[in-house]
């Protein structure tokens, strides 16, 4: 079985990579850019319809050998309220997703972080329903309605050149240590960003913390705040050359969060016992906070009119208060945009991150293992890494074969296992298709 899986995964990766490099990309060679099909553009309505698929299989390590596929359909529309109703600077955003499939980490690896980013909230879900208002010639931007913190904060277009959920769409630490809301599980929110100068900005938001929004049967269409336990307040301030006016653009951002919602103690139950041993619910606590610094910096750019070049990026995150699962997170990555001749939109990237578990989490894992008759030697660090090639087959389709490796997977999925989970080698394949662009190519 091992040899068959290894052969199959390698073959799939080689075929995908070969196709991406040898396919005749006629549309890419055209001088005029492809115009996406937008039949309602003159009325101020921009439609969105795209699909992301992610396959993964572990050829070694984990709890067992397996493969899994998960996918996401994204359907949405932006309504330009200036054109529709004469409200200058106003935009109404709407999006619904459908996620389906299974998580390889959940069924075969057993660690706490998925190797497939579009897994989670596996149903049809109202993801976005917000009003965005630009003020002061666009220097101030306010958005309110139903959405998520992770698409507004701690986010970079660099991260999702990879498939691992440890980095895409956000560094995973924030979800382990706070009630940071995640796409597509929407809740009530508001955020505001002010550009002090064209490069320097401040950004703050407030998002409802409601455990009902994380239930498997929640579809996002309930607007009730019943059972809400508080809010989480993320913030960022920093420098960002979003306009690309410098030859080597970059971003340097300090951020953090104040979580004023309820959460479960990672170790103790309400009576002070170790919850995983007593079988009692974890104690309910309230309030925690964290801090992060993130950056990206383009290191090389042969042509100022091209996106080709090498970019270095990194993230450092730490907990400041509360009883939490992880104590720190470090990530470093490189992304080369423009690989071979004629492949200006292709990317080649590598990243590695380190999740350090807190004393509380290590004590919980040790107690469970020893209760099952195992030893107490628990790894404090989980390292996840990925090597990915992104091939732009044409303006509408992108494919990304990738290789992931997990060193010291934690035992979240198998707490009473008596020995370490084996280091996991995972072959993955991510692809995206954008329907309006595809239709535009065929017209």
Percent of the chain whose predicted confidence (pLDDT) is above 90:
88
> Region 206-220: what's the mean pLDDT?
94
pTM for the model stands at: 0.91
> Region 322-343: what's the mean pLDDT?
96
191 vs 22 pLDDT, higher one: 191
254, pLDDT greater than 80: yes
In this predicted structure, what is the pLDDT of residue 11? 44
Contacts 24+ apart (CB under 8 A), 26-35: 26/394, 27/394, 27/395, 27/396, 27/441, 28/342, 28/345, 28/392, 28/394, 28/395, 29/342, 33/395, 34/395, 34/396, 34/437, 34/440, 34/441, 35/440
Percent of the chain whose predicted confidence (pLDDT) is above 70:
93
Q: What is the largest CA-CA distance in the chain?
A: 70
In this predicted structure, what is the pLDDT of residue 22? 44
Q: What is the pLDDT of residues 292-302, one digit of tens each?
A: 999 999 999 99
Task: Select the CATH number that applies to the domain covering 2-224+242-442 from these four: 2.40.160.180, 2.40.50.140, 3.40.50.150, 3.30.930.10.
Answer: 2.40.160.180
In this predicted structure, what is the pLDDT of residue 19? 43
255, pLDDT greater than 50: yes
In this predicted structure, what is the pLDDT of residue 34? 86
In this predicted structure, what is the pLDDT of residue 304? 84
The Cβ of residue 153 has, within 10 Å, a number of other Cβ atoms equal to: 25
In this predicted structure, what is the pLDDT of residue 305? 84
Q: What is the mean pLDDT of the chain?
A: 92
> Region 355-375: what's the mean pLDDT?
96
> Region 345-354: what's the mean pLDDT?
98
In this predicted structure, what is the pLDDT of residue 32? 63
CA gap 374, 372 in Å, rounded: 6
Q: What angle do CA 259, 130, 212 make, to 5 degrees?
A: 45
Domain parsing of the chain, residue ranges: 2-224+242-442
In this predicted structure, what is the pLDDT of residue 20? 42
Q: What is the pLDDT of residues 94-130, one digit of tens each?
A: 999 999 999 999 999 999 999 999 999 999 999 999 9
Q: What is the pLDDT of residues 70-103, one digit of tens each?
A: 999 999 999 999 999 999 999 999 999 999 999 9
Q: Smallest Cα–Cα separation from 68: which of 34, 111, 116?
A: 116
In the 8-state DSSP scheme, what is residue 223? -
Specify the DSSP element, H or E, that contains 442. Answer: helix 435-442
- Model confidence at 377, pLDDT cuts 50, 70, 90, reads very high
Q: What is the pLDDT of residues 27-61, one digit of tens each?
A: 444 446 789 999 999 999 999 999 999 999 999 99
In this predicted structure, what is the pLDDT of residue 242? 84
């Amino acid at each position: 079985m091992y040899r068959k899986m290894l052969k199959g995964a390698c073959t799939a990766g080689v075929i995908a990579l070969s196709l991406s490099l040898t396919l005749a990309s006629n549309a890419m060679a055209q001088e005029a850019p492809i115009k996406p099909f937008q039949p309602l553009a003159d009325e101020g309505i921009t439609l969105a319809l795209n699909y992301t698929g992610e396959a993964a299989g572990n050829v070694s390590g984990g709890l067992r050998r397996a493969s899994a596929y998960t996918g996401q359909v994204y359907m949405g529309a932006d309504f330009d309220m200036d054109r529709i109703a004469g409200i200058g600077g106003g935009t109404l955003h709407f999006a619904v997703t459908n996620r389906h499939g299974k998580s390889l980490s959940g069924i075969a690896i057993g660690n706490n972080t998925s190797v497939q980013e579009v897994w989670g909230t596996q149903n049809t879900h109202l993801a976005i329903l917000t009003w965005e208002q630009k003020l002061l010639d666009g220097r101030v931007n306010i958005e309110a309605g139903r959405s998520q913190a992770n698409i507004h904060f701690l986010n970079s277009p660099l991260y999702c050149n990879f498939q691992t959920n440890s980095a895409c769409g956000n560094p995973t630490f924030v979800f382990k240590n706070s009630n940071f809301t995640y796409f597509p599980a929407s809740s009530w929110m508001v955020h505001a960003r002010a550009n002090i100068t064209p490069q320097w900005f401040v950004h703050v938001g407030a998002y409802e913390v409601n455990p009902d929004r994380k239930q498997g049967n929640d579809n996002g269409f309930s607007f009730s705040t019943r059972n809400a336990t508080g809010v989480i307040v993320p913030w960022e301030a920093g420098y960002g050359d979003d306009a690309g006016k410098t030859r080597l653009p970059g971003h340097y951002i300090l951020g953090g969060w104040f979580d004023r919602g309820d959460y479960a103690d990672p170790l103790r139950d309400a009576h002070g016992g170790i919850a995983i041993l007593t079988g009692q619910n974890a104690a309910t606590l309230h309030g925690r906070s964290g801090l992060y610094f993130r950056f990206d910096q383009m290191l090389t750019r042969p042509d100022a009119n091209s996106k080709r070049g090498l970019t270095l990026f990194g993230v450092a995150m730490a907990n400041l208060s509360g009883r939490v699962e992880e104590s720190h997170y470090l990530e470093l990555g490189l992304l080369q945009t423009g690989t071979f001749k004629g492949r200006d939109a292709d990317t080649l990237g590598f990243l590695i991150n380190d999740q350090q578990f807190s004393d509380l989490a290590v004590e919980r894992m040790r107690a469970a293992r020893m209760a099952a008759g195992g030893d107490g030697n628990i790894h404090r660090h989980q390292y996840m890494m990925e090597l990915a090639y992104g091939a732009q087959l044409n303006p509408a389709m992108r494919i990304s074969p990738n290789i992931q490796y997990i060193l010291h997977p934690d035992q979240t999925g198998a707490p009473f296992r008596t020995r370490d989970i084996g280091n996991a080698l995972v072959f993955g394949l991510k692809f995206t298709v954008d329907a309006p662009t595809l239709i535009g190519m065929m017209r």
